[in-house]
Chains A and B, each alone.
Chain A
């Protein structure tokens, strides 16, 4: 996905950029409202992550003009506050959601997905691999004419595998991405979800292969 991050703190911004790029996203960074406007008008983004406190103005001003310019790109506001009054004001100004700093990146991903799903998403998000069709926004998997609704962890696991077919993902890496850090789970917890995915993929030409001592990969038969 293509993100625009509007955030004035360089250290925080670079951390977020690194983190999102690790997941394979394309991220542009605007440190102030002016540059944010320039980026937003120059390129199409799937999502804008907007900080509220900016050096040359309030993020809410950007939000207002952004919506007035009929730019449909969803916006998730990053805020250090959690008060409802803030939420109400940013939502009223046209933000799609907000997330309180600091956040878990898996929560950010979940919120992005929720926002995109609510916006109806685009056809481009639907992925085909082998004879399966995977819609991460709708959370559905089609094998032949069988449609399966995936639960959240199944969906995200499949998404991770499909982001790099045939690449081997180690169990710890998968656990890192699937579970939040306050969930004290062993690496073997991943086997449960791999098992469930395999059940869903049964009958298709796609399989999740166990690479002994290394981890898992997804590949066509």
Chain B
């Protein structure tokens, strides 16, 4: 009945995967941002120190005795040493002519009023150079002095490497934390789904109450659909049972009317041939009615075995009740019904079906039994199985036909005039098979012995 669902992927895995991937991307972006920011900050810091150095040199440049004088301040270069242990280069030009410093420093480009920065290869490495210029008047002639201060970028790179390491570590930490959170979040996020699945799968097959427990908003449509599905299922189930009941009513009531009228007619008719005809008619009506009943029984059995509801059923109590119920009928023909039970034969099953099966077997036994005979029932356990054995003294099943006795509509050859559709044993067999048991037929002494076997519960 419960067919395994077709599985395609896992929300949990997909969620975790996406969240982890997202975390990785975020972590990478974070690391890149941090490194970029650090690079900018470090570069800005270096630039501002370089420019401070340039400015401090420019500030000492004066014109003295018609000559440009430079008093290179000690701090101009030592301040660079305070920040990093980088190599330092400088150059002072007057109208493009070297005043002092490293003549081979790269071209500063157009420094502009605010000064300019350039990163260029120099001295087998890379330098950052700040340049600013100022106009001095030497004897009325304007002279442009240009001061460049440069520094290698080793300290910067070290800082960056350190920031990258820290950033990387933070990124990895962030990622690990986020991945961990992703797993936890997914677990807790999917808990309502698991709870719902658990709550639904723990239900018995006949438990068709709507799902009532509170669920997160996102699951409300699912639960609503589920509940509406349950409603439809319940409606359709009750419709099926109602239909069977209604069909029984519709078929049997007119049969009953006709039968009753026939019986009344029989009481008023004297001529034997007419009486025989009416009797034949009543018998035919009985057979139709019984056949209709058994067909409906069978429909009911089929329906219920499709939705088998298992509960504890005490076989001895069930048999006793049924015997009480059938005793007036048996009494009519002075047939003795006896039950004898041993042990504690409890089985898991549908009491309605089991009763139906046993009633069909007992009906048969009573029907085929002669007046003043006995039908004996024995209830017990054997080899872990529970059983109900029904024995009669009605001559037994025809030899060689035992195996097909429970086929639909098969009837024993000895049925003679006895009313019966032959469906009874089929119903009993189907009920037992639905319960994982079996029905055995055999002849014992002068009668039939039908046993209903139930598996160990």
Direct contact of A and B (CB under 8 A): yes
Q: A15-B264, A102-B259, A183-B371 are in contact. List 17 more A-B contacts (CB 8 A).
A: A12-B257, A15-B257, A15-B261, A18-B264, A19-B260, A80-B248, A82-B356, A84-B352, A84-B356, A85-B352, A102-B255, A102-B256, A113-B328, A151-B334, A172-B275, A181-B282, A184-B416
Q: Are A22 and B279 closer than 8 Å at their CB atoms?
A: no
A103 to B261, CA, bound (A): 13
Q: A9-B257, A18-B264, A181-B279 known; A102 and B332 CB under 8 Å?
A: no
Q: Give the residues in chain B near A81, CB-CB below 8 Å.
A: 245, 248-249
* Closest CB in chain A relative to B226 CB, distance in Å: 27
Q: Give the residues in chain B near A85, CB-CB below 8 Å.
A: 352
| B interface: dominant SS | helix
Residue A106 CB within 8 A of the other chain: yes
- Nearest neighbor of A179 in chain B, beta-carbon distance: B333
Query: Which stretch from B15-23, B208-216, B229-237, B283-291 is at the chain A interface?
Result: B283-291
A interface with B by C-beta (< 8 Å): 9, 11-12, 15-16, 18-19, 22, 53, 80-87, 100-107, 110-111, 113-114, 151-153, 172-173, 176, 180-184
Q: A53-B249, A183-B371 known; A22 and B328 CB under 8 Å?
A: no
B interface with A by C-beta (< 8 Å): 245, 248-250, 252-253, 255-257, 259-261, 263-264, 266-267, 270, 272, 275, 279, 282-283, 285-286, 289, 293, 296-297, 300, 325, 327-329, 331-334, 351-352, 355-356, 367, 371, 416-419
Q: Are A80 and B245 closer than 8 Å at their CB atoms?
A: yes
Q: Give the residues in chain B near A110, CB-CB below 8 Å.
A: 328-329, 331-332
Q: Give the residues in chain B near A113, CB-CB below 8 Å.
A: 328
Of the candidates A18, A80, A151, A172, which one forms a contact with B253 in the assembled complex, judged by CB atoms under 8 Å apart? A80
* Closest CB in chain A relative to B251 CB, distance in Å: 8
* Closest CB in chain B relative to A151 CB, distance in Å: 5
Q: Give the residues in chain A near B367, CB-CB below 8 Å.
A: 182
Most chain A C-beta atoms within 10 Å of own C-beta, residue among B260, B275, B327 = B260
Q: Are A100 and B293 closer than 8 Å at their CB atoms?
A: yes
* Closest CB in chain A relative to B415 CB, distance in Å: 10
Q: Are B351 and A84 closer than 8 Å at their CB atoms?
A: yes
